[in-house]
Structure 1
């Protein structure tokens, strides 16, 4: 009988968790000082949100009384206020590493999630850690958390003798809500107790369901407030000093303005006038021996902030804007290129984005880049001419995304690149859908894309995919297929590597939803993928992949992967020649990873891997090793070394064609080679407080490919020895990057940044295998450049100016 009573009690408990909690707030006219003390008397009259429930790892477990959490919410005509009392029986054990904004560090954490439309679609999340640091993001179930979004708000965290306190003021300008007189907002609170790796929420988040934003509680009581005028100006001024041994030292002063304007309660206009991206993070360049370009991360703030709409359909690769020129200059035998710009200057850019109360999201992105020319020298008469490699160009993205039933959407996306004159133009349109059942247990998603290239050889192509999956419970599965025609091309504003294929894939997985005696989390996943060349039906890829990811009770993360390609496959890309393929052997790849407890001062990540081919002497192996040490809450360092060796790799190096004999096929030259890669990176930070820090980032990279013997590609896809080729096609690329920076948020939204940067890189055909000399020569290279810059950005809020007057 007792067993049945316990079961009934548990069912009632879970039923109660599934109901949305409701919190009432109240209007205040008193001034609240954001000092982390909660000593204003008005706080005591506010209703309390309490009874938190564990989200992870033991989903559904109540928070212990010793960690009791009490939250109060107040509001006035300009902002909403949150006061949080986070009890802890051992305040001296509260973790509180000081970090930069949007970096949680090894710290306890408190967050508030607000949805001004209470539609379960998008949360504005605001976090404060125990070291008084801030983080904020926009979260959707489809795209996850976007920490590139930054708002301006105030907070203060203070550790006391009974726990810690957080006080927050979030102005309405940082939120989105309707103009209705009586507001009902979606609301949830979050608490992480870092030393125990436990996460709690006020309204229960059921981990069995495939949604997070739809499981919030409700905030009621806000009345007669109006969405404010959202007009923010961010003027900036920068000073740069550039120096290297090849050119004299130069100084440059730049200035510009970023503008954000709320067109109405839903839509925002972002503009950059005279952009300055000189202090963005450097790119991690590699020796790229493959047939496809290297894809880089986007580090420019304008193109990373609030871009969830523009990610629909995966059609936008924003590094195209202001990236490499679209054409390469043509030269005669007696000419040489003396200056060919590696990137195009951005003149200006704007984006408009937002969502109506009926769920229609609209996004418009537009950017203009300047006309750019290469400089070419005639070696006979020493005259110089210019050739346009990129005309004045306009980049445009349009997104219409209709959400419905709180968890589904259908979107139309169009990208267009128009170049002045007779240069190539590109246009891509897509229909994208993400459909989920009412209980978020099953999902059907996919897209249909159509591309049109306006050039000398106009091209039209399609790409489409369809996926069905179960998204809840311990056991989950998914199946899908996609097809891409030969002439599909979205590379003017997107990025796409493979065309002319169709594929089928499926997966199944198992996960624990609550901890066991050993594991806090455990997931096992099996994937299968096969790809076929569309015209011939030959298999281009076929692999079976098994993965395990887990974390133990002692915060040790463990994982393994096994990838099997059981069949020979046909590679139509490495040859760089239409309708020619290389047959690649079957292979098996194995990998492990171990990550120790980051809560401790010293932690290590270790990731070895080994791959063997069904070909004599062909294999590859490597490892990544990353120790880290936190000296105290202010100082920490990380080091990572990556080593990889590929033995008897087969790769394209040249293509020989007799122009006088158009009938005989070209001879495609391959090399049997060993490829060795070393990558070392070091980073460190010293944070004076949550608003001021010094940061160091250093990376040395060296990779070389040493050709052992030359091969030619036969018509049957096999390789044969080739003795008539004597050109040195060895490859060695090495680079060095150092960034030393100081950052001070001297006022809300306002920042002073000081950066010293040096970098060098070189590509050579002769390989110097002495590692020490390699590094020394790189640092003594004439190409080593130095940049010192100071940038000041000041945030101006129209509402604050209006209130002062």
Structure 2
């Protein structure tokens, strides 16, 4: 009966999408004709070439937010023109402003628009309503670009090579842009029909406009774009780009002395055709990537980190389907540890494995089929095992030669729906664990984008001492338009489902179900620019015992005032005890977590002001004597001028009488649970100074200090309750602190070419001795552990077509 019900729902949505799709025709949408240029266009922000005067004008912009659907007033109108040739698209825009002296123009680094007016062009070469390449230019001539998909939103890690220039005038400001076809994806056809939209933000009043009206009553953005016609018989040049790099590192610390190293390598980008691109890195260098925000982790699960390596963040929208890929697995700390006797030790266990090379191929054909292929290889890694009695040493492998692979097939249809197949595979040399995960993901929307049905089914196979198979599946349905919206769904994960070789998952062996309902205003009121209230529920049960593993009922309210100040608050309750099968760290055991309730409050003032403040406060109360969690975040920011700004974040938190695993006594088969007080201070300072939109100094400092002091110990009983244990005396306290400082200078000296100078120092310290004196801990952290790195890196972008002309001239 249940299967028949699901089948009927699927059949309804598929039939709605495939056979009843009543979308706007090309004639109903706004249309713009691109004109072929026949003279040289200089990107200087002047629009003084004759071709610009002949081009068709796109005007009559609509307000996008906060008020939606009104025609922009005449003295704030925008006029856009488009030209093209065999190599690139050219966009010229005049943005009128009745008060040009008030145009905001903060200088920022790439991909940050800051406090500045901006103009954007959104291009969908397949006109399939599901993916835009978005290019933004600020009034200070800053650039930002992103890959936008209907399922995942904006991805600013994607970077393209393009040119822009802006100019402030007595009537407003002017934008001139050149976007090479290499930055876009489109089908091979004599006549092109692209989706296009233009965007403008007047920052001083936080008013946003679009050329093609975006109705915020409908949960769709790219589907409501206009149409670009007129591009005919183009012959794009070969898309082959070489990006060689050279870098040097000087490392120094008290314990290991100093070392000077040099690195060199090459990135390759090759356009297999107009739609598909190959990216490869040979001898990669990730030494200047952002540091990780490491924390004291007392829980049963690993800490998850953001991906900061460019190759694994750029253009990865296809590979993120189904949530099966966690790229930090590639090159991570070795997974295997050798068995040691009581007399053996490993002095230096590596924190990473060396990435030998990586490549990815991605694109989409004329029928909307997206194909992605990612492959990476890490080298064999050994450690030295030393006998502490006789000093003998031996080599043991902790990570064999390993191949990581991801393959994706993603079929889009009807401009708002997709079905995806994805496979991840990890193959290790020798008699080590191999793993394979395959998944089907679907995202279906009705003809008017009013309802959504989405889900997935992932199957895992691991090959170790024995084979294991597991299943992860989910299904959800929701209304996605109007003031009132709702959603409901469920998930099932079997005990043996495992995607941790190339993905990340914390809990298995459960089934869950959820529901939500929300109300929002679609137009500003006398008090609010935006207002949203949501009610949410979630229940999770163990597959075997059906005991409640998780439960949550909450209400959240988020608002923006007429002055663009944000206020949000919420309340949460977990009215049922939870059975935690992971905290005991022992198969078959569980710890019962008491009921709780909490509330939160968030405030954020308008960033347009030179001084702005973010404040977040949350308080959580357990149904247990004197047990609570308190978290405060205070983040003032000050913009001294358009070039210099400073942001400081002070984040203290406290956990009173926290309960958690501390030890296991094998002799008595006892799991020891501690009651502890934990206090944390997290201080962050970031600052930037921009010489111009291409030269930036950046400073990032983080000091993190967390202590956990145990005050009582308990034995975990078979029923999940605790029995006080007074004869346990081991010192299992934690005193952990880290320090990171990055000071860098970055110069984009040519399109796609960058020079970076970085000074970094960092330190970490862990001890079981508790010292609550801030000064003592800070001195110990820096005096004994500080490491210094000074590095210089230069990356140079070479276009194969330009290189040919160099050789011809030579």
TM score, norm. by length of structure 1: 0.96
In the alignment, which residue of structure 2 is the partner of 1:755?
758
738, 741, 748: which one pairs with 1:738? 741
Task: Note the 1:26-65 alignment, pairs <5 A.
Answer: 26-65=35-74
Task: Note the 1:132-531 alignment, pairs <5 A.
Answer: 132-531=141-540
In the alignment, which residue of structure 1 is the partner of 2:129?
120
2:185–2:363: 8 Å Cα contact kept in structure 1? no
In the alignment, which residue of structure 1 is the partner of 2:3?
none
717, 720, 725: which one pairs with 1:717? 720
634, 643, 656: which one pairs with 1:634? 643
Given the alignment of the two structures, is residue 798 of structure 1 paired with residue 800 of structure 2, yes or no?
yes
In the alignment, which residue of structure 2 is the partner of 1:671?
674
Query: How far off is 1:18 after superposition?
Result: 11
Partner SS state of residue 51, structure 2:
helix
Higher deviation after alignment, 735-744 or 140-149: 140-149
Structure 1: state its 5+ residue gaps: 1-14, 659-663
Q: Structure 1 502/16 Cα, relative in aligned 2: closer, same or farther at 3 Å?
A: closer
In 2, the alpha carbon distance for the partners of 1:16 and 1:552 equals 38
Query: How far off is 1:319 after superposition?
Result: 0.2
In the alignment, which residue of structure 2 is the partner of 1:695?
698
In 2, the alpha carbon distance for the partners of 1:575 and 1:386 equals 34
1:178–1:227: 8 Å Cα contact kept in structure 2? no
Query: How far off is 1:399 after superposition?
Result: 0.6
Partner SS state of residue 285, structure 1:
coil
Partner SS state of residue 482, structure 2:
coil
In 2, the alpha carbon distance for the partners of 1:395 and 1:17 equals 43
In the alignment, which residue of structure 2 is the partner of 1:4?
none
Query: How far off is 1:347 after superposition?
Result: 0.4
In 1, the alpha carbon distance for the partners of 2:793 and 2:488 equals 50
Q: CA RMSD in A?
A: 1.3
Per-residue displacement from partner, 1:55-112 (whole Å, max 9, x unpaired)? 1111101111110111111112211111110011111111111000001101101001
Query: How far off is 1:561 after superposition?
Result: 1.6
Partner SS state of residue 339, structure 1:
coil
Query: How far off is 1:730 after superposition?
Result: 0.4
Per-residue displacement from partner, 1:782-804 (whole Å, max 9, x unpaired)? x2100000000000111223455
1:510–1:523: 8 Å Cα contact kept in structure 2? yes
TM score, norm. by length of structure 2: 0.96
1:179–1:227: 8 Å Cα contact kept in structure 2? no
1:469–1:479: 8 Å Cα contact kept in structure 2? yes
Partner SS state of residue 299, structure 2:
coil
In 2, the alpha carbon distance for the partners of 1:259 and 1:16 equals 40
Partner SS state of residue 231, structure 2:
strand
Query: How far off is 1:121 after superposition?
Result: 2.2
Query: How far off is 1:46 after superposition?
Result: 1.0
1:339–1:376: 8 Å Cα contact kept in structure 2? no
Given the alignment of the two structures, is residue 651 of structure 1 paired with residue 653 of structure 2, yes or no?
no
Per-residue displacement from partner, 1:645-670 (whole Å, max 9, x unpaired)? 01011010011122xxxxx7x21101
Per-residue displacement from partner, 1:227-272 (whole Å, max 9, x unpaired)? 3311111000000000001122110000000000011111110000
In 2, the alpha carbon distance for the partners of 1:389 and 1:687 equals 45
Partner SS state of residue 736, structure 1:
strand
2:38–2:51: 8 Å Cα contact kept in structure 1? no
Query: How far off is 1:716 after superposition?
Result: 1.0
Per-residue displacement from partner, 1:624-677 (whole Å, max 9, x unpaired)? 00000000000000000111101011010011122xxxxx7x211011100111
Partner SS state of residue 249, structure 1:
strand
Q: How many residues align?
A: 784
Partner SS state of residue 145, structure 1:
strand
682, 687, 696: which one pairs with 2:685? 682
In the alignment, which residue of structure 2 is the partner of 1:563?
572
Partner SS state of residue 799, structure 1:
helix
101, 108, 113: which one pairs with 1:92? 101
Partner SS state of residue 507, structure 2:
coil
Higher deviation after alignment, 296-305 or 370-379: 370-379
In the alignment, which residue of structure 1 is the partner of 2:781?
778
Query: How far off is 1:16 after superposition?
Result: 13
In the alignment, which residue of structure 2 is the partner of 1:5?
none
Higher deviation after alignment, 178-187 or 644-653: 178-187
Partner SS state of residue 500, structure 2:
coil
In 1, the alpha carbon distance for the partners of 2:68 and 2:307 equals 35
1:179–1:226: 8 Å Cα contact kept in structure 2? no
In 1, the alpha carbon distance for the partners of 2:70 and 2:245 equals 49
In 2, the alpha carbon distance for the partners of 1:16 and 1:336 equals 71
Higher deviation after alignment, 645-654 or 75-84: 75-84
In 1, the alpha carbon distance for the partners of 2:230 and 2:608 equals 40
In 1, the alpha carbon distance for the partners of 2:793 and 2:312 equals 19
- Which structure 1 residue ranges, 4+ long, deviate > 2 Å from structure 2? 15-19, 799-805
In 2, the alpha carbon distance for the partners of 1:692 and 1:216 equals 34
2:437–2:458: 8 Å Cα contact kept in structure 1? yes
1:17–1:203: 8 Å Cα contact kept in structure 2? no
Partner SS state of residue 723, structure 1:
coil
In the alignment, which residue of structure 1 is the partner of 2:791?
789
1:18–1:204: 8 Å Cα contact kept in structure 2? no
Per-residue displacement from partner, 1:708-729 (whole Å, max 9, x unpaired)? 1111111111111002211100
Partner SS state of residue 223, structure 1:
coil
